[in-house]
Amino acid sequence: MQRSKTWIGAATAVVLLGGLLAGCSSGNKNGNNAQASQSAAPTASASASASASPTASADDKSPIKISWFVDQDYYKKNWDPVNNLLDKMITDDTGISIDFSSGTPEKLSALIASGDIPDVVTVDKGNPQRGVLEKSGLVSPLDELIQKYDPSFDVPKSMQDWFRNADGHFYGYASFFWAKEKFKEGDSIRSNQGLYARKDIMDQLGIKPEDFNTKEGMVAALRKVKDAKVQYNGFTVTPAYFESWVIGGFFGAPREDASGNLVDRERTPEMLEAYKFLNQLYKEGLMPEDSQTLDQDQLKEKVANGSVFAITNKNLDWSALYQKDPKALFVHVGPVVGDAGNKPYVDPVNASGWTLTMVNAKTKYPDRIIKLLDYLSTDEMSLNVNYGPKGAAWDFDENGKVKLSDEFNALNAEDPNKAKNKYGNGTLQWLINWTPIQRTAPVPVTADAIAKDENALFFAKLTYDMLPFESITPLGGTDEGGINAKVEENRKKWRAKMILAKSEADVEKYFNDEVDTEAKLGYQKLYDYQNKQFQDAKKALGLQFAWPANQK
């Protein structure tokens, strides 16, 4: 699924490029700063034996094998402590070997129906199987296991509260969760959205980053690219591929009103302004018709072959282009501001993470498993999981930043798959925290890595706490879920009609027609559900208001 590929892309990008977070997404937990990690972070073996168990001694490393199911069918991992250094580290430190299996959520449903699930189960937090597991009695409350077997297991309170079930328990540990109470100075939630343009073409045509601060300036800059008929690699460069929701965010489309109610930003004046603006770009030949039809892989190919000047989606990674032409560098520009002069915002990666890892209520090894989860969730193990074992794949430099070993770099350059098979980097991300990785990321060296670091830091200043907004999407199989699917499909159609409209008057007409169509689809029932979820989330987080403009 797309989210899983994005997270893995993020982890891989850090290893290959020495940059910071490069994908969706991406998770923060209990992170020390880099210097403290060297002296204060638990060692692997110490973390695995943090506390005594009623059924096993604190340092029990007797060999056991556990089964672990992951509901991502792309995931394939064979435990190999003989040849894989990460697997060897984990087995040596804990005595545990893992028999991984994977499959679709439907396969997990079949396991649940049989009443016989593996010792550990990892499920996408948004999949309905998560709720079924929590209510079935097949998995143990994680808080009870921690209290009984490993009281020093420091699960962030915000994670516990966010995933707490109606019965008062929480049942899983989240990967890539951003726990704000664990943040240190300099930590930030990054975004996969922004505004980026080719520096080589900007220099060629005399375009400056600040030209993109206004709609008029951006149009003028894009016209220069079109009028110059810039050729690159046999292609005429297309001025822009922009997403409407990113432009609407730059224009300050709100997500909460002054009374604290959820706002559907798709229906705001700022989004109408965004559609009119993108329609202007289309009518002037600055953004092509296929901007509404190409999928992400096709857009990535266009960026990689050098035929695009400006984009709003950081996931359209330009590394392949840079590797062929180091002058073809994307840098941050703008951001463009709307007519009202509202503060611009970009959506951060999901603060509530990706997957939840749960423990079978009938496992023979609850004590060993809970200590394994504790061990895997520590800051240094997040680094080990991302890069491979410390000492072999990496170590801290004098500034507390990760420095990849010469041996790792050489093998990774020769064959990334060989490096992964040897070091295990990026193969066990189910309890990973991104903050310690982001905080200690290798110092960027190449111009591309430096630019990506600067881009990420620039747009991180425009993010907001999206956690209160992340519970509003209804689960599949519910009435609200069905309405939501129809509404989203409807919006794709109307979005294209607005951007490709013949006139500004048609844009406004289609904008209103979209609202009328959605009313017939049951929109009000969906909104009432979403607003209630939003209010419940704010209450759980102790917030009166969630949107930054309302928090003054």
3-state helix, strand, coil in the chain (%, to 5): 50, 10, 40
Residues 488-537: tens digit of each pLDDT = 999 999 999 999 999 999 999 999 999 999 999 999 999 999 999 999 99
pLDDT at 478: 84
Closest CA to 429 of 23, 109, 131: 23
Query: For the chain, which ranges sit under pLDDT 70?
Result: 1-58
Residue 433 in domain? no
* Structure confidence by residue, pLDDT tens digits, 3-24: 433 333 333 344 333 333 333 3
Residue with token string 């990460």: 86
3-state DSSP assignment of residue 54: coil
Q: Where are the beta strands (DSSP E) in 93-236?
A: 96-102, 120-124, 173-174, 193-198, 231-232, 235-236
**Based on the domain organization, do 78 and 120 belong to the same domain?**
yes
Could you tell me if 176 and 208 lie in one domain?
Answer: no
Co-location of 139 and 258 in the same domain: no
Output the CA torsion sign for 147, 151, 153, 157.
positive
Are 212 and 97 part of one and the same domain?
Answer: no
Distance CA 155, CA 146 (A): 9
pLDDT confidence of residue 63 = 96
Q: Count other Cβ atoms within 10 Å, centred on residue 298.
A: 10
Whether residue 364 sits in one domain with residue 332: no
CATH code of the domain in which 338 resides:
3.40.190.10
Predicted structure pTM score: 0.81
End-to-end CA gap in the chain:
39
- Whether 213 and 95 map to the same domain: the answer is no
Q: What pLDDT, on a 0 to 100 scale, did the predictor assign at position 10?
A: 37
Q: Is residue 5 part of a domain?
A: no
User: Is 291 exposed, middle or buried, given 0-12, 13-18 or 19+ CB atoms closer than 10 A?
Assistant: buried
Domain membership of residue 101 (yes or no) is yes
The token pair that represents 453 in the structure block: 């670091």
Single residue among 381, 400, 426 that ends a domain in this structure: 381
For 335, residues 6+ apart whose C-beta sits below 8 A from its C-beta are 194, 195, 212, 213, 250, 344, 346, 459, 462
Three-state SS for 130-169 is HHHHHHHCCECCHHHHHHHHCCCCCCCHHHHHHCECCCCC
C-alpha–C-alpha distance, residues 70 and 47, integer Å: 24
Its domain, for residue 138, covers 44-180+353-381
DSSP-derived secondary structure letter, 343: P
**Cβ atoms 310, 198 nearer than 8 A:** yes
Q: What torsion do the CA atoms of 237, 240, 243, 246 make, to the nearest 10 degrees?
A: 130
**Domain stops at, among 381, 397, 424:** 381
Question: Is 10 inside a domain boundary?
Answer: no
| pLDDT value of position 58 | 60
Residues 168 and 237 in one domain: no
Q: Are 163 and 356 in contact (CB under 8 A)?
A: yes
